[in-house]
Amino acid sequence: MNTIVKNGKLLLTCEDHFETADQDLYIAGDRIAGIGAQPEDFTADETIDASGMLIIPGLINAHTHVYMTVLRGVADDVPFEKWLFEGVMPKEEAMSSEEAYQSARIGLMEMIKSGTTCFNDMQMFIGQACRAAVELGIRGVSGRGLAGDLSEPVPGGSRRINEAFQEMQDFGKEPLLTFALAPHAPYTCSEDLMRRVPQLAAEHGLRLHIHLSESRNEVENCIKEHGMTPIAWADHCGCFDVPAVAAHCVHVTEDDIRILAEKHVSVASNPASNMKLGNGFAPIPEMLSAGINVCLGTDGAASNNRLNMFHEMSLMALIHKGNKEDPVSVSAAETLRMATINGAKALGLDAGEIAPGKLADLVFLDLSEPSLMPFNENTDPASALVYGATGAEVDSVMVGGKMILQGRKFVNH
Ligand SMILES: [Zn+2]
């Protein structure tokens, strides 16, 4: 299937900024084939008129838990440990697979309607988020959350690892899905599990997805138990010997930042969740200076409570300015890169920018929405998207060359 997208305004990635161009876009199958000039041997099966639309690369939510969407609002304004152990975990345990599927559907619909084309999920109900993602047509990376101990037979780490591989077998042929191994966190995983998971990831060519250094207590307890910070501990156990996405990384030392940079770990920052649970601010400016690939996530709806990457971008660009009393800290362009090309890099995807050869994961924003006005030759597009847009401007969404939301309506199914 070949598609020409005509009359749209394309958002193009440059070295350190973004530009727009009024050019046609050529899509062959699931990838961008050309911009401006028609590629050789290209015959269009379909033409999309994108008049009045700003076309941006789809946003990539680098850390979430979509099965938790029905837990939105169940434990707000309570301390982190109370939120997790008394609010979220008992309700998760009482949840059925069908509820997890419905929950994932709601969460993914919210994401698509606010311009997300790919989500990096850590889940507890194998197959349910995958099933919802396939139905809605969104791209996803699924990681069964791993916890426990390898020595206990049931329920434990081994069972969860088996479930992770079962899901890969069940959904491995789905073109929009890839998989990661997702040890939940050092405080829920035994040492043998923390060591075994990266070995398995290396054997199977998988990425690793983990929570690290989210709260002050977690760091203090890890130092008491293992004599090192969660990041040093994860490194010690081999977690960074494979491509890894570490969510949060709020309470980190200079040494932690050095380890993350040296081991090319991608940090998925979740500013709303970190603030809502009173965990603080990740040192994003320091991480960017160290050359770390910082990407952006919403976390689950129980701790955000939105799954809207426009909201998350706005927070990311604002909070560090406020926290550091420095208006040049974390620019709009840096933030937009986190939500697009950095997210793609973290997940090993050829996506996150409008360029030939990249996956055709695109979001069409309605430039007639007041929140995007004025949008003219003097407008910095990154600033318009990060500080002005809310996600309500999303008119249509394409994933892998196929429209999944058109005129604000779901069209995949
Ligand atoms: Zn999380």
- Average pLDDT on 136-159 reads 87
**Tokens in use for 4?**
């020409």
With 60 as the cut, is the pLDDT of residue 150 above it?
A: yes
Ligand 1 geometric centre to CA of 364 (Å): 28
DSSP three-state, residue 128 = helix
- Say if CB 6 and CB 47 are below 8 A apart: yes
Ligand 1 geometric centre to CA of 92 (Å): 14
The pairs formed by 288-291 with CB atoms below 8 angstroms and a separation of 24 or more are 288/330, 288/334, 290/257, 290/258, 290/260, 290/261, 291/261
Ligand 1 geometric centre to CA of 145 (Å): 10
- Say if CB 180 and CB 187 are below 8 A apart: no
Q: Residue 209's pLDDT is what?
A: 98
- Say if CB 62 and CB 296 are below 8 A apart: yes
Q: Residue 80's pLDDT is what?
A: 84
The pairs formed by 129-133 with CB atoms below 8 angstroms and a separation of 24 or more are 129/66, 129/67, 129/100, 129/101, 129/104, 130/167, 130/170, 130/171, 130/174, 130/177, 131/101, 131/104, 132/66, 132/101, 132/104, 132/105, 132/108, 133/104, 133/108, 133/176, 133/177
Q: How confident is the model at residue 16 (pLDDT cuts 50, 70, 90)?
A: confident
Q: Residue 153's pLDDT is what?
A: 62
Ligand 1 geometric centre to CA of 176 (Å): 22
The pairs formed by 161-170 with CB atoms below 8 angstroms and a separation of 24 or more are 161/196, 161/197, 161/200, 163/126, 164/126, 166/126, 167/126, 167/127, 167/130, 167/142, 170/126, 170/127, 170/130
CA–CA separation, 29 vs 133, rounded Å?
A: 19
Selection from 140, 176, 136, 6 nearest residue 405 by Cα = 136
Ligand 1 geometric centre to CA of 300 (Å): 6
Q: Residue 154's pLDDT is what?
A: 57
268-305 per-position pLDDT tens digit? 999 999 999 999 999 999 999 999 999 999 999 999 99
Ligand 1 geometric centre to CA of 290 (Å): 24
- Average pLDDT on 258-270 reads 98
With 60 as the cut, is the pLDDT of residue 155 above it?
A: no
266-269, strands of its sheet edge to edge:
59-64, 116-123, 139-146, 177-183, 207-212, 244-248, 266-269, 294-296
Q: Residue 309's pLDDT is what?
A: 98
Lowest pLDDT segment from 58-62, 76-80, 254-258, 355-359:
76-80
Selection from 129, 121, 211 nearest residue 171 by Cα = 129
Ligand 1 geometric centre to CA of 412 (Å): 28
Ligand 1 geometric centre to CA of 329 (Å): 25
Q: What percent of the chain has pLDDT over 90?
A: 92
Q: Domains of the chain (ranges plus CATH)?
A: 2-58+351-410 (2.30.40.10), 59-347 (3.20.20.140)
Q: Residue 258's pLDDT is what?
A: 98
212-228 per-position pLDDT tens digit? 999 999 999 999 999 99
Ligand 1 geometric centre to CA of 110 (Å): 17
Ligand 1 geometric centre to CA of 35 (Å): 37
Q: How many CA atoms lie within 13 A of 7 on its CB side?
A: 9
With 60 as the cut, is the pLDDT of residue 413 above it?
A: no
- Average pLDDT on 73-90 reads 90
- Average pLDDT on 345-363 reads 98
User: For ligand 1, a single-atom ion, which residues have Cβ within 5 Å?
Assistant: 299
Ligand 1 geometric centre to CA of 247 (Å): 7
Question: Would you mind telling me the total number of residues written for the chain in this entry?
Answer: 413
Ligand 1 geometric centre to CA of 64 (Å): 6
